[in-house]
Every structure is written in structure tokens, then in C-alpha cells.
Amino acid sequence: MHTSTRRDDDYVGVAPIVEETYACDLGVGRLLLADDLPLELQLPDPGRLPRPRSGARSRWTDAVERYFGGEPVVFDLDVTAYAAAHGLTEFERDVFASLSRVPYGTVVSYRDLAHAAGRPNAYRAAGSVMAGNHLPVILPCHRVIKNDGRLGLYGDDPAWKERLLALERVRVAEGRVTA
């Protein structure tokens, strides 16, 4: 572990930030934490090198490695603390709270997610919240799909959405979730 080059004042009211790396078959990923609160997760990259470890790793790093190893993991994120650290709006917090309850191996539509967040007509806005997710996998935005079953976008590399769903044994054919 080492202290991130990110400035602590980029986040609201958090402890000093540390960076940990995790390794899996898909490469090495990166996780930023403030005490026991994950702030950012970068998906694995086969070209990234792991950081030397010093001391114990967080439970989050272990859980992410178990997830990428194929184990169904439930991430017990304190969404309220995460939202406060990122300065999120009440709507964003509610969407992420609803997202955190989507079970491993299942999908919901953007419309269903907006409804679960108490804003049934805000499904496009819920999609915008997903686009700003700093914790993919922990906040499983890959489990949110379009109403017609198509996967939709996923950051810079849409193939990740299908990879993550496949890891959770969700069947996808031709860019669409199948029964």
C-alpha cells in the first residue's frame, strides 16, 4: 500500500487515502480507500503491475479478488458515507443505494432502478448516475440494462459489462440478456 497521489481534499471529510492493488486472471486493478470506505475502483488491466504490499490488505481488496475469482460476493458498502465523501446529491445516493441491493447474478432495467430509488420517471437520470460510478463491481452498475434487454453502455469499454455479467453467470447473446 502507499498513499495515493490524489489530494485528500478531493473528497469530503475522509481520512487519508491509500491505494491498494488486486490481482486476478484479467489483470491487476486498483482500489482507493479512506479507512474502511472504498472511494474508487479501477477494473483489472493486463498491463498494470501490482504495487508491492506492505502490511495487511483491506477486506475490500480481498472481496474484489474473490469476486473476480468467481465467488458470489455481497459488498456491504456504506452508501451514505460513500455519497457524502463524493458530495453526491440525494437522488444519486438513492440510486446507488438501490443499485447496491441488486443481487449477484441478476439484472434490472434503468427504469426498475429508478423506481426502486423512489423516482420512477427518472430512468434516464439513473443512467447518468451509473455513468459516474467510481466503484464498478462494488456498486454493480454492470447489472443495469436497457428495458429491452440490451446491455447498453459501460464506460470506455462496453465489453466489460458482458464480461462481468458472464462472471456472474448471466447469459448474454448478441448484446442482449437472455432468459
Active-site amino acid positions: 141
Say if CB 162 and CB 153 are below 8 A apart: no
Write the secondary structure of 62-99 as one string of H (helix), E (strand) and C (coil).
Answer: HHHHHHHCCCCCCCCCCHHHHHHHHCCCHHHHHHHHHH
Q: Are strands 144-145 and 172-173 parallel, antiparallel or unpaired?
A: unpaired
Helix 123-131 × helix 90-100 angle, to 10°: 80
Say if CB 154 and CB 137 are below 8 A apart: no
Residue 101, C-alpha cell as written in the block: 441491493
